[in-house]
Structure 1
Amino acid sequence: MLGPLRRQLRAVVKDAVYRAIPRSRLVQRGRTDRRQIALTFDDGPDELTNAYLDRLDELDVRATFFLVGKSCERRPELAREYVRRGHQVASHGYDHSHFTRLPWRELREQLRRTEAVLGLRSTARRWIRPPYGNVDARVLAQLLAGGNVLAMWSLDSHDYEIRDAAEVATRCAARQVSAGEVILLHEGQTWTLEALPRIVGDLRDAGYELVTMAKMFEV
């Protein structure tokens, strides 16, 4: 019995902490009075990054990419290419470790190393998406104290477990979203790349503007 009770208590504490954070510092969903959608991509850069960027260029879409520091070290030219093409880049941790499992000093070092390799960015504040979206009160306090904007999502495409482009597109279809949606997608996946034209076309046909998170939240 203690296990479920502890989980419930942690959830209550986490919800209370979330509510106390200024909206400009923890963002998850945009305004409902603007027909805007933000496409976000985790886990790059990798061997498919250029293909993703080319596809988004063809579709005339600017997106937000949450990059892994270790991968940026291996492909520094790609870390710069996102920004050159007009996209927003932000931190997704150094090696995709769960932040909640890292001691304070190790998490601080992960953040520092990732910031050092991200290079030029188009936003004044540092943005970060914790791997797996996992945070607790300690991690939240540490990230906020560092001046970061915590960027979550409101719709999960589940493209990390669904390997069918048509199904990924269906999960992101206009009938599944509403104004202010932040859609979670991932790099490195051919099915996600294949789904992008259908996703973008459907959302635009429904009258949505596709923007970066920085533009959506004006942060």
Structure 2
Amino acid sequence: MDIVNDGLEKQRAKRRRVARMKKMIIYTIISFMLITLCVMIFLVFEVISLQRQIDALSAKIAVSETVDDANEMVDDSFLDNLYLVDNMDNIAEEGDIPMVYLTFDDGPSDNTDAILDILDDYNVKATFFVVGKDLDTYGDAYRRIVNDGHTIGMHSYSHNYSKLYQSEDSFVADYNKIHDLIYDTTGVDTNFYRFPGGSSNKVSNTSMSVFINYLNSVGAVYYDWNIASGDATSQAFTADELVDNVMSDVVKYKTSVVLLHDASNKNATVEALPRLIESLNEAGAVILPITEDTEIIQHVSVVQ
């Protein structure tokens, strides 16, 4: 009997131990879950708090950048004696017919003939701001631009920023070189100029006012742009995206000077050109080459 009782007692003790172990395991799991939940709630609040701080900081930075952008033409030592050109009079109003000027920088190139063929197919005249190239290879391209009735302008001879913008002397020498190349090759005494990087570039080692004053002194007119197709950026836009980039902005202005590029690696620009012309025609735009009568589009000008 005692043996039976001892066995039963041992079984009861074992059950109690098992029950206690189960409770401990359950309590441990519950405690772990509660701790985890508390940590997660804490982390959520921390993330929300950090996001608010980031948003506030971003807002401050945006405001700061806006102020900087508004004042950079005054504060930037490279752009002293310049002011931002106010083009508010060029904002389109209802009923305005868009005047669009397609401009091609950096040519001539292996794509020049293809661009000229497309323009000819659509009976469209454009403007080519050319650089200095080997005449044995590209002499016919310079001449065809002019013979096809397009406007030819200067985009520097070297397109070497550090050399071109090193000093007034280097700029003048480069200007004369590209002007004479165009005149000697095509017979055109062009006075249209486009600064590499635009008149508001930040890479010039000399104040842009020096170069602008020189252009003014020789009767040259520099044109910037108010619409960029995007083909100059490192981002590889498709032909359709290039067209969309232009068309989304054309509606904003009475006069639109569109920045495009004539370069051997700009195949997307060539591919986009027919659809761009068709889209502009559908929008009722008039496509013209830059002439003496064209509204001047500039980013900055010399303080008078």
Specify the alignment match of 1:130 in structure 2.
195
Percent identity over the alignment is 27
With the length of structure 2 as denominator, give the TM-score of the two structures: 0.60
Q: Does 1:145 align with 2:217?
A: yes
1:101 correspondence with 2:165: yes
Unpaired segments ≥5 residues, structure 2? 1-67, 201-207, 297-304
Q: C-alpha separation between the residues in 1 aligned to 2:136 and 2:155?
A: 13
Asked if structure 2 preserves the Cα contact closer than 8 Å seen for 1:30 and 1:217, the reply is no
How far does the alpha carbon of each residue in 1:95-128 deviate from its partner, in whole angstroms, 9 at most, with x for none?
1123773222111110111011113366x76010
Distance 1:139 1:172, change over 3 A: same
Q: 1 CA distance for matches of 2:177 and 2:283?
A: 41
Contact 1:72 1:118 in 2 (8 A): no
* Structure with greater contact order relative to length (CA < 8 Å, sep ≥ 6): 1
Q: 1:195 to 1:73 in 2, by over 3 A?
A: same
SS of alignment partner, residue 157 of structure 2: coil
AA aligned to 1:78 is A
* Structure showing the higher helix proportion among its residues: 2
User: In the alignment, which of 112, 120, 144 is matched to residue 49 of structure 1?
Assistant: 112
8 Å contact from structure 2 (residues 158, 164) kept in 1 = no
Instruction: Find the residue that maps to 1:65 and give its secondary structure.
Output: strand
CA distance in 2, matches of 1:30, 1:56: 26
Q: Is 1:15 aligned to 2:55, yes or no? A: no
Q: Output the CA distance in 2 between the equivalents of 1:90 and 1:96.
A: 14
Out of 226, 234, 238, which is 1:164 matched to?
Answer: 238
Deviations 1:36-79 (A, max 9, x none): 11110000001111111001111211000000023557511211
Distance 2:178 2:277 in 1: 30
* Structure number with larger C-alpha Rg: 2
- What is the CA–CA distance in structure 1 between the aligned matches of 2:108 and 2:259, rounded to whole Å? 16
Contact persistence 1:46–1:71 (CA under 8 A): no
Tell me which residue corresponds to 1:176: 249
Find the counterpart in structure 2 of residue 90 from structure 1. Answer: 153
C-alpha distance 100-113 of structure 1, shift in aligned 2 (>3 A) = closer
Question: Closer, same or farther in 2 for the Cα pair 1:209/1:111, shift >3 Å?
Answer: same
Partner of residue 61 from structure 1, selected from 114, 121, 124: 124
Which stretch has the larger CA shift, 206-215 or 30-39?
Answer: 30-39
For these two proteins, the number of residue pairs brought into alignment is 205
Moved more, 137-146 or 207-216: 207-216
Pairwise CA RMSD:
2.9
Separation of aligned partners in 1, 2:245 and 2:72: 33
Using a 3 Å threshold, how does the CA distance of structure 1 residues 151 and 89 change in structure 2: closer, same or farther? Answer: same
In structure 2, distance between residues paired with 1:148 and 1:73: 28
Question: 1-side partners of 2:107 and 2:268: how far apart?
Answer: 15
2: CA distance, partners of 1:84 / 1:164: 31
The Cα of 1:216 is off from its aligned counterpart by 5.5
**TM-score, normalised relative to structure 1:** 0.82
* 1:66 partner SS: strand
How much does 1:30 deviate? 6.4
Cα distance change of structure 1 residues 112 and 74 upon mapping to structure 2, 3 Å threshold? farther
Runs of 5+ consecutive residues of structure 1 not aligned to the other structure: 20-26
The structure with the largest strand share of the pair is: 1
Which deviates more from structure 2 when the two are superposed, residues 145-154 or residues 129-138?
A: 129-138
Cα distance in 2, alignment partners of residues 218 and 6 from structure 1? 25
Tell me if the contact between 1:30 and 1:182 (Cα under 8 Å) persists in the aligned partners: no
Change (3 A) 1:72 1:94: farther
